Amino acid sequence: MLISASLFGKLNDGRPVKEFMITNDEGFSISILEYGAVIRFVKYAGQTPDCNVVLGFDTLKEYENDSSYVGCIIGRVANRIENGEVKINGKSYSLNKNFGNHTLHGGSIGWNKQLWVGNYYRTPDGAVVELKYFSNDGEEGFPGNIQATVRYSLNNKNEVKISFEAQANTPTLINLTQHTYFNLSGKLHHQMNDQLIKVDAQKILQTNSEKISSGKLLNCHDCHLDLSELKPLSSYLLKHKNGIDNFFVSNSQSMIKPVAKLIDPSSHRQLEVFSDAEGMQIYTGEVLVESQEKYEPSKFYGICLESHNFPYCSASENLSLMCIPGIGYRQNTVWRFSKVI
């Protein structure tokens, strides 16, 4: 198991950004940046060059200019918040609005645009990159200070584990996720319509035309979004011309459980996702290319499998989003990469 750190670049304000690389004994490797806690690449070994199966950029400037959340951590609160307003213990807070009249993925300068502080260490079964970020009270309108930690670990089974932890000094909201775009073919300039997907969910969250949650659940089958059997993405995209951007509620609310599977038939590469989150936002990147010169002129280049708890809803109590002093917040997701015959 090899692990290293090097300078990736400097931000516009001159601050240096490190890149961490972990390579296991099978030659499988991942790259992680301090900026946005980004996963820059995930590479299968055995090809020249090794095959990267996630979307990413070559320079720090591209990440600074990115508006599609490529590879980053989303925080404080993933998904949409209606009218940029939240209520915590009966008190209302106005947030920074960056999605029309609403707040998306933490606001205009969310945790995807922050410089995290990273280090690395070895464990008996692999290696870990640990990144920390301190979010001040009032950042993007959210109350309370938060000390957040994300740990990326890789073992020799080609499993990438993502562990979130956070502590707050006053009751506040938190709902973190990882926003990597997968394309298991490794052909990152090609649509992934032929790749197969399966999601262990029978319900999705009802949303309006702006993807704002009503708090009500709908049957996946009734919405032509029953992903419970392994089928090509194209079979769903034919019915949903603008792609998929929905929150799927996990069938089981137990601890770590299987939640999704993605397979590229041409290369036989497989990704299995396990998580203890309440569900998963599946997003097929239909607006990925609007400001991404590298990925012009098409869409559906990658799919996000965003494990997180229920999105904030003004009609709900949002208890799973609460970060209480002394209790904190934890969430774990595992990506298991393999090949199928």
The pLDDT of residue 238:
75
Could you give the C-alpha distances from 96 to 63, 84, 214, in angstroms and in order?
21, 6, 21
Tokens 């609005």 correspond to what residue? 97
pLDDT at 232 over 80: yes
Closest residue by Cα to residue 11 from 63, 67, 69: 63
State yes or no: pLDDT of 12 exceeds 90: yes
Task: Tally the residues of the chain.
Answer: 341
Sequence ranges of the domains in the chain: 2-339
Q: What's the mean pLDDT in 27-48?
A: 93
**pLDDT tens figures, 96-137:** 999 999 999 999 999 999 999 999 999 999 999 999 999 999
Give the pLDDT of residue 273.
98
Percent of the chain exceeding pLDDT 90 equals 85
| Global confidence as pTM | 0.95
Mean pLDDT of the chain: 93
User: What are 74-104's pLDDT values in tens digits?
Assistant: 999 999 999 999 999 999 999 999 999 999 9
Tens digits of residue pLDDT in 289-306: 544 455 543 578 899 999
User: pLDDT per residue over 184-197, tens digit each?
Assistant: 999 888 888 899 99
pLDDT at 329: 98
2-339: CATH number = 2.70.98.10
List pLDDT tens digits, range 132-184. 999 999 999 999 999 999 999 999 999 999 999 999 999 999 999 999 999 99
DSSP state of 131: E
pLDDT value at position 300?
81
How buried is 180 (Cβ within 10 angstroms: 0-12 exposed, 13-18 middle, 19+ buried)? buried
C-alpha triplet 100, 103, 108: angle, nearest 5°: 90
- Distance of alpha carbon 22 from alpha carbon 151, whole angstroms: 13
The whole-angstrom separation of Cα 99 and Cα 115 is 23
